[in-house]
Amino acid sequence: MPNTPNPLTLLLDDIRGEADGFSGQVGLAARRVDAAEAVLFNADDIFPTASVIKLVVLVEYLAQVAAGELRPATPITLQAETMVEGSGVLKDLQPGAQLTLHDLATLSITISDNTASNLLLDTVGGLARINARLRDLGMTRTVMGRPFVFDSPVDNTGSPADFLHLLLALAQGQVVNPAISRAALELMGRQQFMTYIPRYLPYHPFAAEYGLPQPLTIANKVGMLRGVVNDAALITTPGYTYGLVIFTRACTDLRPDPDNEAALLVARLSK
């Protein structure tokens, strides 16, 4: 009798086929929370993280709140010199507007606001604290080398495997403590950019408002730069929860568009 093909081998063949037709490079890491076997494709390669690394800034902020070093209600005044281009809305507000640290964390994750992320980064102690947190989390191939600025020649870098490790630890309540893990996932569940990993999944972002059933819950963080589309998602189905991280680089389609070649690749791989 012919050998039955290994499902993992078939899946990797499909991923390889998609990667071969892509103008850039792609890395993928996926695993069910309750399983030992993972799907890994270029998973230890180093990619620009884009805004996905904002998850680690969030974790550091939540850890400092839990330790009593920061208070979520602390007011922060928006200054003209702290406003940066790229994603978000704070760049369009008038200097002098006041927000809380909790507001900054919410904007950083839900709409990937660069100004909010930089203010939060400064508050928690800057790059040194984030890189120390990365080491504490066991994310040994990820480095934060710059704040969040639009179209910088310097990238923050990391691997899909590192961010899968973070997602699975969050799912199991192991990122600092269960309360911090839950708080991070709650904010990730309100993330508004749903055209990458969730694009072809049976997920409705406004199911509750329309009284519709919601077969999935998704907690994710996206990132995009020129030539880069990334997404790191924790997806819960009725039967199991799994983490999926897809990073890309060097895509020749540079359009900031939901139908960008890399965006569509990420969505197809997610299926």
47 membership: H or E segment, kind and range = strand 47-48
CA 15 to chain centre: 21
Q: Give the pLDDT score at 153.
A: 65
Q: How many domains does the chain have?
A: 1
Look at residue 1 and tell me if it is in a domain.
no
74 to each of 54, 69, 97, 123, 187, how far by Cα in Å? 20, 11, 14, 11, 19
137 to each of 169, 197, 251, how far by Cα in Å? 9, 24, 30
Q: Say if residues 112 and 87 touch (Cβ distance below 8 Å).
A: yes
Is the whole model's pTM more than 0.85, yes or no?
yes
How would residue 227 be classed by pLDDT, with cut points 50, 70 and 90?
very high
Q: Give the pLDDT score at 2.
A: 62
Rounded Cα distance, 47 and 55, in Å: 16
Look at residue 2 and tell me if it is in a domain.
no
Look at residue 167 and tell me if it is in a domain.
yes
For residue 240, is pLDDT > 60?
yes
Q: Residue 252 belongs to a domain with what CATH number?
A: 3.40.710.10
Provide the Cα torsion 159, 163, 169, 175; round to 10°.
100
Helices marked H in the chain — which ranges? 7-20, 54-66, 101-110, 114-124, 126-137, 160-171, 178-188, 207-210, 261-270
Structural domain of 153: 7-270
How would residue 150 be classed by pLDDT, with cut points 50, 70 and 90?
confident
For residue 1, is pLDDT > 60?
no
- Which tens digit of pLDDT belongs to each residue from 155-194? 899 999 999 999 999 999 999 999 999 999 999 999 999 9
For residue 69, is pLDDT > 80?
yes
